[in-house]
Structure 1
């Protein structure tokens, strides 16, 4: 066994944070729905960069009506442990994909629908490629296009490529990275970033800001941030979609400023992508901005596998 459960219960609607021991590290997760009812499909919800399982708080109850739902913190984020990059663990999509695969085997106990937002969508696809038998379907919400990945940087104008490399090198200096991180985790800075990413200003609440700031205060959070900012390797979404062993559905906020929907639509050309759904009046995180629109779509996607 790679991991085991700590403080685990089998309550039908357990909303308390539980911990699973993976490779000696505590991984936080929450679950909804009857985990003992194997007639229900399972769904694993995977957050994006800098976020946590709480980013699915507006979705879990609705999905629990038709599935066993699990929201998980990727190692390095949320309430999960944050081991030292490079020394204890490498923060890569292969690491996170393997975490999801092992979680599927050891906690979920069956194949699952993998739902991811932003880099969480890349993690979902990586997990599906690593263990095809455990991925029933992938639902990618505003999938990270990985525009700063090494291969994609080659297609940028020289000045943008140079600027990206320079920024990564500057943030590789620990002192500078600490100063930068201290600024971006301030409530005012987090609110400003969210206001840029979200199309709906009323969705940028104090609850959301606090939810993102709290894990950033943990020891090791800055090192995880720095490691990911400098991470330009790993797969592109195009590479993963070309090898995806299951069907995929793409959801995209029409007003996403970080991952433009026009570029997102290009991913729909892959054979595994069976549906591309635009979410009106939503930005980068439509599951949080517009749950009243996203939840019925996710429910239909889950029910389509029955």
Structure 2
């Protein structure tokens, strides 16, 4: 299981033969970000958790400057992992940038996917004519420059903003710690790949049924983005959950679980 080892993949839950659900984490995080959500599906699914290259327990030496310079490289990683695990068509749950990675993988190899659950997707973070991504171009440039100059300081400042919920500071601290566990050199490159990508046109190639999960207030993926993804993703449904921040898997796991169960229950 070479690829599974590379990504520190773990399988739990229902016995072999059960449908599989795969959880993919967002930028600066690792598979532990799903610890409040994934166990809720272990009675009905084979649950797969993994780390992107450079995160968590993954093999950082597998990071490739060319391959991982675009989100397509990360989509290739997901496809290779699913090919090796051979669990049949899976439900892929992608958070944040992994939602975009999920759509790229599904467009490339649709037979590997039963459904997608896209939590806080954003195919283009920079505002454009008639499109609100959440940031002006100069704001993204400043964000990346600050990260390059002082990654740990950036993590401490930005994680609470991304998390939201200032009345629950422990959540921001957890995300800060997650950022700090990520290889800084890889994190800086992954940030540029994430925040400078424009994958809006790629949505048209996806035919896998999808659920777009949008928080009512999210500085990283505003409500307008969720509506845009839903409008441009054939066969998708949109669920607006009563949660604040970009990480409902930590801040509102109950609401996220309920929304996912409603969608995944036959």
Q: Which range, TM-score by smaller chain?
A: 0.7 to 0.9
Residues 44, 70 of structure 1: 8 Å contact kept: yes
TM-score (norm 2): 0.84
Greater helix share, structure number: 2
> CA 1:54 to 1:245, structure 2 compared with 1: closer, same or farther past 3 Å?
same
> CA 1:248 to 1:213, structure 2 compared with 1: closer, same or farther past 3 Å?
closer
Partner residue, 2:165: 199
Residues 153, 161 of structure 1: 8 Å contact kept: no
Partner residue, 1:182: 152
RMSD: 3.0
> CA 1:68 to 1:250, structure 2 compared with 1: closer, same or farther past 3 Å?
same
The number of residue pairs the alignment matches comes to 262
Query: How far off its partner does 1:55 sit?
Result: 0.7
Instruction: State yes or no: 1:279 paired with 2:255.
Output: no
Partner residue, 2:4: 20
Which consecutive segments of 4 or more residues in structure 1 shift more than 6 A?
Answer: 153-156
Partner residue, 1:29: 9
Superposed, which structure 2 residues align to 1:125-164 within 5 Å?
125-148=103-126, 152=128, 160-162=136-138, 164=140
Gapped regions of structure 1 (runs ≥ 5): 6-18
> CA 1:32 to 1:297, structure 2 compared with 1: closer, same or farther past 3 Å?
farther
Larger radius of gyration: 1
Structure 2 residue matching 1:281: 3-state secondary structure: strand
> CA 1:298 to 1:126, structure 2 compared with 1: closer, same or farther past 3 Å?
same
TM-score (norm 1): 0.74
Structure 1 residue matching 2:168: 3-state secondary structure: helix
> CA 1:122 to 1:84, structure 2 compared with 1: closer, same or farther past 3 Å?
same
Q: Distance in 2 between matches of 1:146 and 1:213?
A: 22
Gapped regions of structure 2 (runs ≥ 5): none
Q: Distance in 2 between matches of 1:256 and 1:203?
A: 17
Query: How far off its partner does 1:201 sit?
Result: 3.7
Q: Distance in 2 between matches of 1:60 and 1:81?
A: 23
Q: Distance in 2 between matches of 1:199 and 1:82?
A: 32
